[in-house]
Amino acid sequence: MQLIDAEPLMHFPQPLRLRWQRRVLHFKKPATTSRGALRERTTYIIEASTPQGTGYGECCIMPGLLPEPTETELNHWCRQVEQQNGLFGIQAPSPIQFGLECALLAALHPDKPRWDTAFTQGEAGIPIHHLVWMDSVDKMKQSMRGGIQQGFTCLKMKVGALPFAEELEMLHQARATYPQAEIRLDANGAFSPQDAPHKLAALAKTGASFIEQPIGRGQWPQLAELCRCSPLPIALDEELIGVSQPEELLDAVHPQAIVIKPSLHGGLLAAQRWAQAAEQRGISWWVNSALESHIGLEALAEWCAYAAPGTMQGLGKGNLFIDDESIRLQLQGNSLRMQYN
């Protein structure tokens, strides 16, 4: 993988001025998650200004997983970065750290992409999965059909919300109807350690490639046993939240994959460390977005294209909100494409 040059961020080459703004975005239609239906979401945009120009980052909160930052916290960390003119020694809460890093990376070269790649030059896309939101079986089937018709080759399905027998039947039908598609599953910790083994065995027969976070966070011994015995490969997601030593978790649990969300897992530099640790252990990794606005999504896309070009990622499509739209990102078939000025 390509590594971020962190040195300019630690000691920024130009004087910095940081500000932040709270924004409330409204979903085009309710986003149903394991933590309820979302109709709006709050996000915080961080602006880093230098004499040469301005860069933006996003501090994006996933309800129920991390606390929303306070005005005091945002002011504190922005003033800290200003005072020392960089990120050296700064380890803010994950969403704030992600916003700070993305804003400073953009401010290094205002009006240019953070990294010069085939993606930012408009010459290559990033393949992404099609997320099938939690809903009734009929509406989830309709979403699958629409995704395949759009050209997606990977479907991500939520499991654990409907009766298990219904979910199994739906997945078997999906495999029979779309034999060419990769199917990834996400349980969001919905299974108990006692029920997980037989449920994973049943789900493996649907031909799915991975399941994210089958049991709740913090149960490392049980999770390690599942990763050792499950016929369905397991990817860790929420488990990464709050873990400062990636090597400790990966060596204890030995998952088949990890799903990195920089806004939840420590920022971009921490995400890079997770990816490095995974590669050193032969563990697959990919990046999921977390309902960011176009500011956060563009930063994630630029990093994915730089760090792991051509990898299937779990990025959003950029069309979630009524009051937010990217002028740079476009969805073409199953790929995100960028047109940078």
Angle between helices 71-84 and 94-108 (to 10 degrees): 40
pLDDT at 35: 61
Residues with a known catalytic role: 158, 261
pTM of the model: 0.94
CA angle (187 as vertex; 182, 190 as ends), nearest 5: 165
282 and 257 in contact (C-beta within 8 Å)?
A: no
pLDDT at 250: 98
38 and 331 in contact (C-beta within 8 Å)?
A: no
Say if domain 7-108 classifies as CATH 3.10.20.30: no
Contacts of 58 (CB under 8 A, 6+ apart): 43, 44, 45, 46, 98, 99, 102, 263, 292, 293, 295, 296, 299
DSSP state of 68: P
Confidence check: pLDDT of 37 > 80: no
Domain 126-338 homologous superfamily, CATH: Enolase-like C-terminal domain (3.20.20.120)
38 vs 20 pLDDT, higher one: 20
Q: How far apart are CA 202 and CA 54, in angstroms?
A: 52
Q: How far apart are CA 41 and CA 25, in angstroms?
A: 5
Confidence check: pLDDT of 242 > 70: yes
pLDDT digits (tens, 9 = 90+) for 71-113: 999 999 999 999 999 999 999 999 999 999 999 999 999 989 9
- What is the residue extent of each domain of the chain? 7-108, 126-338
Which range is least confidently modeled, 56-65, 186-195, 242-251?
56-65
Q: How far apart are CA 232 and CA 166, in angstroms?
A: 19
On average, the pLDDT of the chain sits at: 94
Q: How far apart are CA 269 and CA 246, in angstroms?
A: 12
Helix (H) / strand (E) containing 181? none
Confidence check: pLDDT of 31 > 90: no
pLDDT digits (tens, 9 = 90+) for 122-148: 999 999 999 998 889 999 999 999 999
160 vs 61 pLDDT, higher one: 160
pLDDT at 338: 95
Q: Burial, 54: exposed, middle or buried (Cβ in 10 Å; 0-12, 13-18, 19+)?
A: middle
| 3-class DSSP assignment, residue 337 | strand
Confidence check: pLDDT of 179 > 70: yes
